[in-house]
Structure 1
């Protein structure tokens, strides 16, 4: 009754045997072995409601003591005595002062268990809330970083870099182009200065025979030959009326 008050769904498998006299050892040992072999049994309580010292002698019997020591199921000794302690108390897994005390110690209290569950739930809820708060704080910290809070900022910075590099490239190209154009102008001037046309522009002329040969020596022509004279602008035709020889170094006349 006391056990069911603590836990209404508790189940008992009771073996009524003699707990004193010559048959007590055999009866208790047989019940112990039978319950120990039942997989449904969680704990075995060997109980007696007290008695005289002589009445408790079966619970110090060697064969019973060895059977309790060999049992695979936990055994509770609840002989119900105060002054005398049979050897069973020293071999059992737990000693209870009375059978009622044994029932209380092996059967959980439903009210207490519900209170434990409620406390565990509070602790679990608090742990979950703290975990969520911590993770939310970490997420907020990540989201507050400039790269996530203002993702366009990185693009704007790169855009400024691109504009700056583009302007630098344009200035470099323009400068290089102007420098190359100046180089081309200088080369044009040099080429023009060395060209036959520039020589003709300074007043010189090119004298050629009828077959297109350039006259370099007066010995190449004779009187009455027709010569073509190329000027800076146009050509003239002339007839040779006189020839003369001039040595290198003589001044022209």
Structure 2
């Protein structure tokens, strides 16, 4: 024997485990889950398989938060480290993260597009447009279904009851048509030029649900839009390519509405402060005039000649009249500003808002009368029928091709099997214990052997043995 070092079984398994962990490092593997078992300890054991092989996997309880829910038959992508389970010498993967297989591809595509657009400068702060100090008309690009539109409207009504005008550009926010509709809405808003800020919004969802906002066409349309765009996609933890390109990224649709609308409470506070400053300025002006009057009175008392007294008295009357006129003008200006503020606040009353809402409702009813969706629905039904027929034809052709491939494989398998060899006149010799004879020296004269033919079996007795020569 060689002078190679001698390992115990434990040492050998530990050495192999170390080589696998250090040599392979962190790996990512895709496959189908099978034989899922979960123990009271919280650990989960399963096999990950493909068409040709399988590997044992373990997901410890401490790593469960980094793993999506999964079950037998699910296609998943795992990230983990390869190793040896020492007690049985079994190769296994220790899972550190798990996600559906499709999300891995989406994440990779997301990262590639992010790096590409960043290299082109689409995320640079220098190219982003500032929002206007005061939004006069707001545009919203979102779906007419769901709560996002209503959340934005409620937020605007809460923050600015004077009814900020809103133009809705309805689009799909999920599915194959969503990206194209979003691009069309951005281009339409830019061509019309009716709004000075756009909100691009939808609710939260999975990476696949938000895929429309990770499309390159949407990102480039946002970058090319001459109107400032505020993105409010998903929840605070959701990040899309649209968020990086937008002129302002809001964590939620509600936050986006707050970012573009003035706050009525803040405006009231600013108005109150302006009123206080005006009152203070008027008080200071009156105090200065009083000081002037006092000084004039003092100088008058110091001068006894009658003419000087009368002249000073006349000058004093003139100053008093000018002061009164100035005071009246300041008081009138303050009254006008206060009346204007009251009128603006009165415009935010429920009656005014209700009348405006009724006008909008009448306008929408008129638009609904002009738009007839019957023809569009008929066209969509015909297109759906064509797609169904195409799907049935393609499915039938695929099944026929697969059946032909299966028949050819079966014929090839039968031609290579032992039965085909026996049909050509060959036989398989076996000892009485069932061992297959491949050489004459495996038996001796006088022993009994069995000969297996294509049909039936012969019991034979060896009379003599001969070598290859």
TM score, norm. by length of structure 2: 0.30
1:53: how far off?
1.0
Contact preservation (8 Å) 1:17, 1:28:
yes
2:239 is aligned to 85
1:10: how far off?
2.0
1:119: how far off?
2.0
The within-5 A match list for 1:14-163 is 14-134=168-288, 136-137=290-291, 139-140=292-293, 143=296, 146=299, 150=303, 152=305
1:21: how far off?
2.5
Q: How many residues align?
A: 155
Contact preservation (8 Å) 2:228, 2:247:
yes
Aligned equivalents of 2:243, 2:290: Cα separation in 1 = 57
1:44: how far off?
0.6
Q: CA RMSD in A?
A: 2.9
1:251 is aligned to none
1:5 is aligned to 158
Aligned equivalents of 1:128, 1:105: Cα separation in 2 = 36
1:72: how far off?
2.5
Q: Structure 2: give runs of 5+ residues left out of the alignment.
A: 1-153, 310-469
1:28: how far off?
0.8
Aligned equivalents of 1:93, 1:33: Cα separation in 2 = 16
1:135: how far off?
5.2
Aligned equivalents of 1:43, 1:148: Cα separation in 2 = 68
1:45: how far off?
0.4
Aligned equivalents of 1:125, 1:92: Cα separation in 2 = 44
Q: C-alpha offsets along residues 71-112 of structure 1, whole Å, 9 cap, x if unaligned? A: 222211000233331122122222222212222232223233
Structure with the greater relative contact order (CA < 8 A, sep ≥ 6): 1 or 2? Answer: 1
Aligned equivalents of 1:147, 1:132: Cα separation in 2 = 21
1:61: how far off?
2.6
Q: Structure 1: give runs of 5+ residues left out of the alignment.
A: 157-253
Pair 132,82 (structure 1): closer, same or farther in 2 beyond 3 Å: same
Question: Which one has a bigger Cα radius of gyration?
Answer: 1
Contact preservation (8 Å) 1:43, 1:73:
yes
* 3-state SS of paired residue (2:266): helix
Aligned equivalents of 1:122, 1:42: Cα separation in 2 = 33
Aligned equivalents of 1:55, 1:92: Cα separation in 2 = 19
1:52: how far off?
0.9
1:187 is aligned to none
Aligned equivalents of 2:265, 2:276: Cα separation in 1 = 17
Aligned equivalents of 1:148, 1:93: Cα separation in 2 = 71
* 3-state SS of paired residue (1:113): helix
Contact preservation (8 Å) 1:147, 1:154:
no
1:55: how far off?
2.3
The within-5 A match list for 1:125-204 is 125-134=279-288, 136-137=290-291, 139-140=292-293, 143=296, 146=299, 150=303, 152=305
Q: C-alpha offsets along residues 110-150 of structure 1, whole Å, 9 cap, x if unaligned? A: 2332222112221232233224433553x337635748974
Aligned equivalents of 1:47, 1:64: Cα separation in 2 = 13
Aligned equivalents of 1:40, 1:152: Cα separation in 2 = 75
Pair 134,75 (structure 1): closer, same or farther in 2 beyond 3 Å: farther
